Amino acid sequence: MKVVIIGGGVMGMMQARELSQRGWEVVLVDKGICGGEASWAGGGIISPLYPWRYSDPVTALASWSQGYYPNLIQCLEAESGVDPEITRHGLLMLEVKDREQALLWSETRQPAWLEQIPATALYEYEPLLRPGVAEALWMPHICSIRNPRLLRALRMILEHEPLVTIVEENAFAGMEREGESERVTAITTVKDRRIEADRFIFCSGAWTSSLLPEAGLKVAPVKGQMILFDAVPGIVNRIVLNQGRYVIPRRDGRIVAGSTLEYTEFDKSTTAEAKETLADLAIDMFPRLAEYPISHHWSGLRPGSPAGVPYIGLVPGYRNVYVNAGHFRNGLVLAPASVRLMSSILCGDKPPVNPGPYDPGARVI
Ligand SMILES: Cc1cc2nc3c(=O)[nH]c(=O)nc-3n(C[C@H](O)[C@H](O)[C@H](O)COP(=O)(O)OP(=O)(O)OC[C@H]3O[C@@H](n4cnc5c(N)ncnc54)[C@H](O)[C@@H]3O)c2cc1C
């Protein structure tokens, strides 16, 4: 069986690895360099932010992936020699207004995943947090990964996999159908390549609706800006979330702080205003961060979708064209389960979660 995957972000590359492991021939096509868009720009938190506010379909994919991630990262490191630095430092949430809902969610859905802790415990975890915080919500199991490293590992594995061909800097341009039928025989690219296959999967993130305009999928870009403090280990020890903004410590002491939520179409420019706001919020949480330089400032386009529920399955109007896109703010955490679900749809084996809520055909009005 041969498949063309359009888009080489975390979704496309993980999908390519899984299908090649099952003996499929894979051609992975990207308009730029694989792993150069949202999957690179993200923070790498292996959890939705405020997870109780999400619907069951997002929680189902997140829970499956969270269980699978440590093993996956070990495999990727063994296969590639690149360590994506999965770190279980836990997530602290300050000033949560709906904490009763959070505690109830934990009790009924994820026992022992979330607890309320007093100031004494909080300052033991984070001695350099600004004084005066009375309590926090604490999720000790939450991990982060260094997503650029995860992407490097995936890329390296695919480069050495004989069943995989990577076609970069060559955007998808169109599809050729078999006569008038719903069956696609090949895609074409802007640099005049024609690639035949049995199946086609769009893992094209924020660009998905623009590539499949007739399919009725509602995927739209949502810009997020991030900054990086060149700090040292010990300034921030955990992922800390306050008023929707977060700081994530890397093992070398650098701190990622994010992120904005901007509806500006495909504009990826960064702004001085966002940089200042992100820096102010991070420094407000950890005043010592003011002593360290901001060495990077970047943005990425999240694939926004209704309620953040991705589209995974057959695209309406086609017999052999599929989509795995629209993961909004959670594509890094949701990727393993989403990719496994897509593989199970293609191969006819047991899905990791109920496929119904993600079925594009059932969601298109
Ligand atoms: C600032 C920010 C912070 C985030 N933080 C987190 C986090 O902490 N945790 C988390 O789980 N998620 C996070 N996310 C969300 C996550 O990054 C995304 O949901 C995820 O990366 C989507 O992966 P993807 O592979 O679908 O998309 P992408 O990584 O964007 O990949 C899509 C690919 O499709 C390619 N493509 C587009 N058009 C074409 C074409 N015409 N032809 C060929 N290829 C094409 C693109 O070049 C790109 O490589 C964050 C996102 C941002 C922006």
Q: Which tokens sit at 364?
A: 């298109």
Identify the CA nearest to 66 among candidates 141, 151, 150: 141
57 lines ligand 1 (CB under 6 A): no
* pLDDT of 233 higher than 70: yes
Distance 185 CA to ligand 1 centre (A): 27
31 lines ligand 1 (CB under 6 A): yes
Cα→Cα distances 151→55, 102, 158, 257, 325, Å: 28, 32, 11, 20, 17
| pLDDT score at 227 | 98
Determine the 3-state secondary structure of 42 from DSSP.
Answer: coil
Per-residue pLDDT of 112-121, as tens digits, reads 889 999 999 9
Atom of ligand 1 nearest to the CA of 225: 1
336 lines ligand 1 (CB under 6 A): no
Average pLDDT over residues 62-73: 97
Round the CA-based radius of gyration of the chain to a whole number and report it: 21
- For 1-89+143-217+307-365, CATH number out of 3.40.50.2000, 2.60.40.10, 3.50.50.60, 3.40.50.300 equals 3.50.50.60
331 lines ligand 1 (CB under 6 A): yes
| pLDDT score at 112 | 84
Share of the chain above pLDDT 90, in %: 96
Distance 124 CA to ligand 1 centre (A): 35
Per-residue pLDDT of 142-194, as tens digits, reads 999 999 999 999 999 999 999 999 999 999 999 999 998 999 999 999 999 99
Identify the CA nearest to 333 among candidates 52, 34, 42: 42
The domain spans of the chain are 1-89+143-217+307-365
37 lines ligand 1 (CB under 6 A): yes
Distance 362 CA to ligand 1 centre (A): 24
Report the C-alpha gap between 258 and 239 in whole angstroms: 11
Q: Are 46 and 304 in contact (CB under 8 A)?
A: no
pLDDT band at 365 (very low <50, low <70, confident <90, very high): low
30 lines ligand 1 (CB under 6 A): yes
Per-residue pLDDT of 126-135, as tens digits, reads 999 999 999 9
CA 183 to chain centroid: 30
Higher pLDDT, 363 or 65: 65
Distance 128 CA to ligand 1 centre (A): 33
Protein residue closest via CA to atom 3 of ligand 1: 42
Q: Are 80 and 17 in contact (CB under 8 A)?
A: no
Per-residue pLDDT of 248-261, as tens digits, reads 999 999 999 999 99
* pLDDT of 315 higher than 70: yes
Q: Which tokens sit at 71?
A: 């093993």
Report the C-alpha gap between 275 and 259 in whole angstroms: 10
66 lines ligand 1 (CB under 6 A): no
User: Could you give phi then psi for residue 2, rounded to 5 degrees?
Assistant: -120, 135
Average pLDDT over residues 342-347: 98
Q: Which tokens sit at 170?
A: 């060559």
Q: H helices within 237-347, ranges in order?
A: 272-285, 331-347
Look at phi and psi of residue 348 and say left if phi exceeds 0, alpha if psi is from -120 to 50, else beta: left
8 lines ligand 1 (CB under 6 A): yes
* pLDDT of 364 higher than 80: no
User: Could you give phi then psi for residue 296, rounded to 5 degrees?
Assistant: -145, 150
Distance 262 CA to ligand 1 centre (A): 15
Share of the chain above pLDDT 70, in %: 100
| pLDDT score at 111 | 81
Mutate to test the pocket of ligand 1, among 33, 158, 166, 330 (most ligand atoms within 8 A of CB): 330
In terms of Cβ atoms closer than 10 Å to its own Cβ (0-12, 13-18, 19+), residue 111 is: exposed
Average pLDDT over residues 84-98: 97
Per-residue pLDDT of 5-26, as tens digits, reads 999 999 999 999 999 999 999 9
Residue environment code for 124-141, b if the CB has 16+ CB neighbours within 10 A, otherwise e? ebbeebeeebebbbbbbe
Q: H helices within 81-162, ranges in order?
A: 99-109, 119-125, 147-159
* pLDDT of 199 higher than 70: yes
- Using DSSP bridges, classify how beta strands 294-304 and 91-94 pair: parallel, antiparallel or unpaired: unpaired
Q: Are 38 and 303 in contact (CB under 8 A)?
A: yes
| pLDDT score at 106 | 92
Report the C-alpha gap between 225 and 127 in whole angstroms: 27
Distance 239 CA to ligand 1 centre (A): 21
* pLDDT of 109 higher than 90: no
| Single-letter amino acid, residue 126 | E
Protein residue closest via CA to atom 1 of ligand 1: 224
To the nearest whole number, what is the mean pLDDT of the chain? 97
Distance 313 CA to ligand 1 centre (A): 18
